[in-house]
A and B are shown apart, each in its own frame.
Chain A
Amino acid sequence: KAGVTQTPRYLIKTRGQQVTLSCSPISGHRSVSWYQQTPGQGLQFLFEYFSETQRNKGNFPGRFSGRQFSNSRSEMNVSTLELGDSALYLCASSFRQGNVVGSQYFGPGTRLLVL
């Protein structure tokens, strides 16, 4: 089975721009979660999508948004980029049935640098 894939792997943007990151989950997984990793804050949960609906959301401003398509692929968008948005963005996929979520499997991440 192919693993979780993320594109692009690296991005450089300037303040004020917006960015869209993509994640394709493991085949059969319909839950996709996004995390941000920074040296100062560590790994933090952004949001989860399941069946094209946002199921759970972390404590991030509204500039961070996402969506999920019918094939379970997910995108996250960050608008009006700030320097502090520079981070490694990780996507994870898992099996979900009701409130039961299985092991989360992570993709290789997208490194975003905001100048």
Chain B
Amino acid sequence: ETGVTQTPRHLVMGMTNKKSLKCEQHLGHNAMYWYKQSAKKPLELMFVYSLEERVENNSVPSRFSPECPNSSHLFLHLHTLQPEDSALYLCASSQETGVRREQYFGPGTRLTVT
């Protein structure tokens, strides 16, 4: 148990559906991250929020929309996804204290787009 929870753990959705992934951290951290992990590829950083402001957005398609209402919660809203978006989506949090932040990961949401 790392102190970062993600729901749901598994999600199957059609290309016309709208769904949201939720991440919650209980560590008092002030930064949160969304990563995508596709089969046999390195982790891809999608979004970074620091102090509830988005500070990084790695050219992610607009069908992925993040939301960070407070420092403990992070959402990833999904709409009109493509089958290639099927992947493991990981959330992480860290305490921004300079250059050596260490991230704590949630268990991930396994997303399948049909």
The answer to whether A and B come from one shared complex is no
